[in-house]
Amino acid sequence: MVTCAKNVCTSQSTQSCEIFSLFEEGFFLLRHALSEDVLRHLWLTALTDWPSITSKCSNVNAAADCLLTHDSSEFVWDQTLMEKLRWITFGYHYQWDDRCYRESKRGVFPALLAHISTQIAKLLSEELTRGSLAKLDLAMEYAEACDSFVPEASIVNYYRGKTTMGFHTDEVEFDKKAPLVAIR
């Protein structure tokens, strides 16, 4: 057990974070790495701010118009578009036709998402160098990849009830050793 919520975010919470290595190939599961407050902030930002970022890509062409009004106290949605919104990408946008990432198709990467992803990678690095995961054969290699991690591409999925995420292999990533951070 690692006390990590304060390391990963600015929350005052110090809930216990559990880190598991499920496969020797570098699949790690961090449970409770983010506090409920941080998750709530991430969730609200994903619903209220990110659909209106102009440099993002999404499955809904007019997703920037999903948010009709937004201020600190109230927001109103175009429900038709929000019901169709399934994903938004930031940073490098994957080109499905060419199966590649292009510099010319790179947008803004949200600061909040970058900060949280980087902090999660740092937490994992600490556990790989000084914690229970240090005994793994490739622990130092994984830790170095976490230490140099800079998030450059992201997909935010908007799941509805009874939907699932399909697994796939990313074969065109620039850095195959960089962590892939998934937050649920």
Q: State yes or no: 168 annotated in a binding site.
A: yes
Let me know the angle formed at the C-alpha of 174 by 8 and 88, rounded to the nearest 5 degrees.
60
Indicate the helix (H) or strand (E) that contains 58. Answer: strand 57-58
CB atoms within 10 A of CB 70: 14
Q: Are 153 and 94 in contact (CB under 8 A)?
A: yes
Q: What is the DSSP letter of 30?
A: E
- Tell me if 170 is assigned to a ligand binding site: yes
**Most distant CA pair in the chain, distance:** 52
CA distances from 163 to 20, 65, 86, 158 (A): 26, 24, 10, 10
User: Which residue ranges make up the annotated binding site?
Assistant: 168, 170
User: Which residue ranges make up the annotated binding site for Fe cation?
Assistant: 168, 170
